[in-house]
Amino acid sequence: MNSADSQYADEKLTVLKSMLQVEIMKDWGDGEGAWKAGNWTKEELDRLYSTLMCFAECLGGPQRVGECTGGVTVHREDLGTHGGEALAHRVSLSVKQTFTAWTVVHEFAHAWDGNTGWKLSRLLESYTGGHTSRITGIVTRLIGTPKMRRITK
């Protein structure tokens, strides 16, 4: 990204924050109008923006992202070999590699799950007989998968 892209990027960040309750940890510019490169490229910001707008449409509108996640802050950081990580209200994307739309949606789904107290994961495990715990996975392989049950409200 260069200084000509700074205003463009700032406009994207403003839209994400106001419409989706998604805040990007900006690491470019020096706060006084001079350009300083950061970890984000213009293409990555565009990919993040378009992916999140598509995600919002799938959820039923932009307001649904904030309702589901409770608001999310997105960081770029060294995650070792992981492409992304998420907790409630925080998504981290690797600085060692670029990210895909799949990674963004995957990590935002974890943030959504975290915002519900991980209820979505527990319901999915219950419904499918799957597991997210290493211990549960070992036990399931040893004694078999319990019969799937229907989820009702």
Q: Give residue-wise pLDDT tens across range 85-139.
A: 999 999 999 999 999 999 999 999 999 999 999 999 989 888 888 777 767 667 7
**CA 110, chain centre distance (Å):** 7
Question: Do residue 89 and residue 70 come from a single domain?
Answer: yes
The average confidence (pLDDT) of the chain is: 86
Question: Do residue 15 and residue 37 come from a single domain?
Answer: yes
Question: Do residue 83 and residue 152 come from a single domain?
Answer: no
Q: Give residue-wise pLDDT tens across range 123-133.
A: 988 888 877 77
- pLDDT score recorded for residue 149: 47
Q: Give residue-wise pLDDT tens across range 6-61.
A: 788 889 999 999 999 999 998 887 766 666 778 898 899 999 999 999 999 999 99
Question: Do residue 137 and residue 76 come from a single domain?
Answer: no
- pLDDT score recorded for residue 148: 46
Question: Do residue 83 and residue 122 come from a single domain?
Answer: no
Tokens describing residue 14: 């403003």
Q: What is the pTM of this model?
A: 0.81
| Count of domains observed in the chain | 2
Residue span of the structural domain in which 90 resides:
3-116
The conformational region for residue 118 under phi > 0 = left, psi -120 to 50 = alpha, else beta, is left
